[in-house]
Amino acid sequence: MDDAPSAPGVPDEAGRRRFLACACGIMAAPLAVVTACPLATALVGTIYRKPALQFSKASGFAEAPIGQPVKVSFTHLEVDAYLRTQTSDSAWVIKQGPTAATVFSPICPHMGCRSDWSPAAKAFVCPCHNSLFSIAGKVVGGPSPRSLDTLPHKIEDGELYIQWERFATGITDKVRI
């Protein structure tokens, strides 16, 4: 019914509306792409990629006695999408010499509680369910499904550097999470 051509001198309303809709769409498209790409990467990208691990310098290694467990502390960077957080943590280190050491995560593989060294028992003890681990990290008693988890590390110029990793608890396999 409105198919009749407009009178001369009267603007074509449908053409103007169509032009404005296209112009708004063209201007909004780059904004939508700029907004959607980082959002999609944050939501989907982290599912398929594990964060790169970094070595963090641990304090107290140089003074550690050989053959005795020592708790060392270090700070590592945790990245979650756009959030970057400096987190302090600790690990158990048994120094075999100036260039050799074993580094254990303090997290018990059973339920995720933090284990401590008991000089009286000469073992690592988990306070939650009394899992016991030898100085070599092997399960001696309790419900833990596996030995203490070792952490990647390196020693450079007498300084210890540790890569912080978390592992799944309650299973027999050492699976990084």
Q: Tens digits of per-residue pLDDT, 113-154?
A: 999 999 999 999 999 999 999 999 999 999 999 999 999 999
**Closest Cα partner for 160 from 86, 87, 98, 115?**
98
* pLDDT above 60 (res 9): no
The 8 Å CB, 24+ separation contacts for 115-122 are 115/148, 117/69, 117/71, 117/92
133: left (phi over 0), alpha (psi -120 to 50) or beta: beta
In this prediction, residue 83 carries a pLDDT of: 81
In the numeric block, the tokens 């053959």 are attached to 67
For the chain, the domains span: 1-49, 55-163
Helices (H), 41-121: 46-48
In this prediction, residue 80 carries a pLDDT of: 72
* Contact of 88 with 116, CB cutoff 8 Å: no
In this prediction, residue 47 carries a pLDDT of: 60
* Contact of 86 with 77, CB cutoff 8 Å: yes
In this prediction, residue 68 carries a pLDDT of: 95
Q: Does the reported pTM lie above 0.85?
A: no
Three-state SS for 64?
Answer: coil
| 107 or 3, greater pLDDT | 107
Sorted by sequence, the CB contacts under 8 Å of residue 139 that are 6+ apart come out as 131, 132, 133, 146, 147
Q: What are phi and psi of 54, to 5 degrees?
A: -120, 150
In the numeric block, the tokens 């053409």 are attached to 15
Q: How confident is the model at residue 52 (pLDDT cuts 50, 70, 90)?
A: low
CATH number for the 55-163 domain, one of 3.40.50.1110, 2.40.110.10, 2.102.10.10, 2.30.40.10?
Answer: 2.102.10.10
d(CA 36, CA 28): 12
In this prediction, residue 34 carries a pLDDT of: 85
CB atoms within 10 A of CB 168: 13
d(CA 145, CA 156): 33
- Summary mean pLDDT of the chain: 88
